[in-house]
Each structure stands twice: as structure tokens, then as C-alpha cells.
Structure 1
Amino acid sequence: MKAFWTYTLARLGVFAVCFVIVWGLSQIWLESTAVLNIWVLLISLVISSVISVFLLAGLRDKLALNVHERATRMTERIEESRRAEDVD
């Protein structure tokens, strides 16, 4: 579970930094409106997604390995239970 929270918090951090930068730049050059804030949000989401693909690759790999190991353990337990039922 630690890998999940680390990756999630890192993604949120990257998004927050991107949002602050894009919002700051929009305040300098453009007039503030509700529509502009939605565009800032969308642009920040896209930029943070692209950055996360490259910057957080190691954390994502750890998370994927963690999920795979957990799924393997669950599958083994299910198969073990199924074999125990067949024996009785």
C-alpha cells in the first residue's frame, strides 16, 4: 500500500506545481475569468500527465510490481482453497 500512496501523492504534487505555474502565468498575461480557470485546470492536467509519464516512471514500476505480487498471492490462495475443497 505504501507504493500506492507514494505514487498518488507524487502525482498530486506534480499536478499542484503545474497548476500553480500555469495559473501564475495566466494571471500575468490574461484577464481572470471562470472560463480561464477551467482552461488553466485542463492545461495543468495535460502538462502534469506528460511530466508524470517520464518523471514518475520508477514509482509507477514499483506500484505495478506491488499490485502484480498482491494479485499473484491472491490467486495462489484461491487455488489453494479450491484444491482443499476438491480433496474433501
Structure 2
Amino acid sequence: MLRYTLMRLGIFAGCLVVVWGLVYSGLAPRGLGDSNGMWIIMLALVISAPISFVVLRKERDRASVGIVQRVDRMKANLDANRSQEDSVDDTAQAQGQAS
């Protein structure tokens, strides 16, 4: 997951540099008033999102498999804990009824 995040940040940083260069060279429009920095960041986000979606498909699939495995492991641990609590509760109830 960290690898995917770093790759995504790298693509964004690359787009940010390109957009910054285009805006300051006059090839892309500047923002209104003092919003130039925000304009550059927003434009870089809009451009980097579809690039990341296409380029990082395999890495995203690999990260999602890792997340699914982690969730399944956590569910199994919860079920094991729940069954232990149920058996302890059943034992306590049986001892309470026997008294």
C-alpha cells in the first residue's frame, strides 16, 4: 500500500511540475487574482488522477489484494475471539445453573 501511495504522489509531483511550467510559460491560463497556486494544484490533481488510474492499475490491484487479506485475517481473529467468549459464557451459565 505504501508503494502505491508513493507512486501516486510521484505522478502528482510530476504533473505539478509540468503544470507549473505551463502556467508560468503562458501556455496554460493563470488563476484569478491570488488563486494561481491553488489553480496549479487543482489542475495537477485533475490531470494526475486519470494518469494514475491507468498507469497504476496493476499496483492498485496488488494493494487491494493485500487489504482484502488483512480484512479477512481480522475477521477470522474476531470470530475466534467471539467463539472463545461464547464458550466462556456458556460455561459460566452452566455452572450458575448447577448451583
Q: TM-score, normalised by structure 2?
A: 0.78
Does structure 1 residue 57 correspond to structure 2 residue 54? no
Q: Which has the larger radius of gyration?
A: 2
Q: Which runs of 5 or more residues in structure 2 are unaligned? A: 89-99
Higher relative contact order (CA 8 A, sep 6+): 1
Does structure 1 residue 6 correspond to structure 2 residue 3? yes
Equivalence map 1:15-34=2 (5 Å) = 15-29=12-26, 34=34
* 2:94 aligned residue: none
Quote the sequence identity (%): 35
How many correspondences in the alignment? 85
Letter in 2 for 1:60: R
Q: Which runs of 5 or more residues in structure 1 are unaligned? A: none
Letter in 2 for 1:82: R
Report the alpha carbon displacement of residue 85 of structure 1 after superposing the two structures with TM: 1.8
Letter in 1 for 2:11: V
Report the alpha carbon displacement of residue 31 of structure 1 after superposing the two structures with TM: 6.6
Does structure 1 residue 36 correspond to structure 2 residue 40? no
* 2:73 aligned residue: 73
Q: TM-score, normalised by structure 1?
A: 0.87
Coordinate RMSD, CA, aligned: 1.7
Report the alpha carbon displacement of residue 34 of structure 1 after superposing the two structures with TM: 3.3
Deviation per CA, 1:16-36: give whole Å up to 9, x if none.
Answer: 000000100111116796322
